[in-house]
Amino acid sequence: MTTPPGQPAVSFEEYRLYYETTEKVTERRLAMNRWNYSVLTATLLAIGVILGWASSHATFLLAGIVGILILSVVACVMCFFWLRQIDDFKALNTAKFEVLNNMAPLVIFEGPNGTSSAQSFNCFGKEWQELARVQALQSPSTNSFVRGLRSSSAERFIPRAFGAIFALIFLSVLVFSALSWSNVTDHPSPFSKSEQVEKKKK
């Protein structure tokens, strides 16, 4: 196999090992998505439990509202960082496949009698060209150089949807608190009711 002039040959074993690291990045990205999804789903359920508990116990209303507001803010921050993590993993994968495409023409294959005459088909480069031909690629955004599949934008939909849900919960609870401030502050703590009863007895 002839390599481009001035370029050193690359061992197929090195090419294979580097491809495996690319696969591991994809696996880490999927695991990260599953973990974030699980945590945010659990947070949403926790807010539902706190909401039901606070609405059925007037003395815990203020504590419940504060708890929901804190959880909503934390969840929105998590959604933001989840989106950033997706962008980082996409950028890393894009860079790795670019390296693989550059390595492909330089790969040498070892046969039973030494170096084989086989040549790399440069499958990743051809795959990218075919995706571009059928217009399956999305243009890179203004804040990112990553150019991925159009369908990959669906990956960002879930953290955005979670972020919108938690922001809506935060605003709804805030509006409710403002409109019902007197009811909310009637029993600022679970102990305030018992204290008022004792004062009346005296």
Mean pLDDT of 101-111: 78
Rounded mean pLDDT of the chain? 77
Where residue 201 falls among pLDDT bands split at 50, 70, 90? Answer: very low
Query: Which helix (H) or strand (E) covers residue 174, if one does?
Result: helix 157-179
Q: Which of 96-100, 129-133, 160-164 has the lowest mean pLDDT?
A: 129-133
For residue 97, the model assigns a pLDDT of 82
2 assigned to some structural domain: no
65 assigned to some structural domain: yes
How is residue 20 written in tokens?
């495996």
Contact criterion met (CB below 8 Å) for 104 and 120: yes
Q: From CA 26, how far away is CA 31, in angstroms rounded?
A: 9
For residue 80, the model assigns a pLDDT of 96
Closest CA to 63 of 189, 182, 176, 173: 189
4 assigned to some structural domain: no
**In 57-122, which ranges are continuous DSSP H helix?**
61-103
Q: Which of 15-19, 112-116, 165-169, 191-195 has the lowest mean pLDDT?
A: 191-195
Phi and psi at 11, nearest 5°, equal: -70, 140
β-partners of residue 115 are: 110
pLDDT at 17 over 90: no
Domain of 144, in residue numbers: 10-201
Length of the chain: 202
Mean pLDDT of 28-49: 94
Mean pLDDT of 163-179: 91
Where residue 131 falls among pLDDT bands split at 50, 70, 90? Answer: low
pTM: 0.70
Which residue do the tokens 């809506």 mark? 168
How is residue 131 written in tokens?
């995706």
36 assigned to some structural domain: yes
Q: Which of 20-29, 53-62, 170-179 has the lowest mean pLDDT?
A: 53-62
5 assigned to some structural domain: no
pLDDT tens digits, one per residue of 55-75: 787 777 788 888 999 999 999
3 assigned to some structural domain: no
The share of the chain scoring above pLDDT 70, in percent, equals: 65
183 assigned to some structural domain: yes
Q: From CA 154, how far away is CA 39, in angstroms rounded?
A: 19
Domain count, the chain: 1
Phi and psi at 172, nearest 5°, equal: -65, -45
Contact criterion met (CB below 8 Å) for 53 and 59: no
Sign of the torsion formed by the C-alpha atoms of 176, 179, 181 and 186: negative
For residue 41, the model assigns a pLDDT of 96
112 assigned to some structural domain: yes
Residues 6+ apart with CB under 8 A from 125: 101, 104
Q: From CA 129, how far away is CA 133, in angstroms rounded?
A: 6
